[in-house]
Structure 1
């Protein structure tokens, strides 16, 4: 009987420890600063791909041509 009580107390203590670890992980995942940093890194990585760089350069050329044409007219 005493062994069962000790085992149950150990199980409860282990469950509390597991719950505390889970809450710590969830708090870290939900940290707004970390989420913003992750998003920032993903956007920068996407913008650094060759296809996006070429597309942005093309858009820049078109905008420049349109502005120059507008000024000349």
Structure 2
């Protein structure tokens, strides 16, 4: 059964519009600026956790003591 050329043309245009909309959504999701902002907010939320914050402070103090010990040896 042959299809009408106008119908085929409309389907092609609809598919093209759908593809363009999908590409626009992907470009927004993969935006470097958006990815950086997401990473920043994730890091901030992890650093707000007291367990992580105090562990990092402890590691910093330990490294500082090791450096001071190395200098005055």
TM > 0.5 between the two?
yes
4+ runs of 1 displaced by more than 6 Å? Answer: none
Q: How many correspondences in the alignment? A: 69
Per-residue CA distance 1:24-43 (angstroms, 9 max, x = gap): 01211221111111111111
Q: Normalization by structure 1: what TM-score? A: 0.69
Gaps of 5+ in 2: none
Superposition pairs for residues 54-65 of structure 1, below 5 Å?
54-62=54-62
Is the aligned partner of 1:44 residue 2:44? yes
Gaps of 5+ in 1: none
Q: Normalization by structure 2: what TM-score? A: 0.69
**Structure with more of its chain in helix, by fraction:** 1
For 1:33, the equivalent position in structure 2 comes to 33
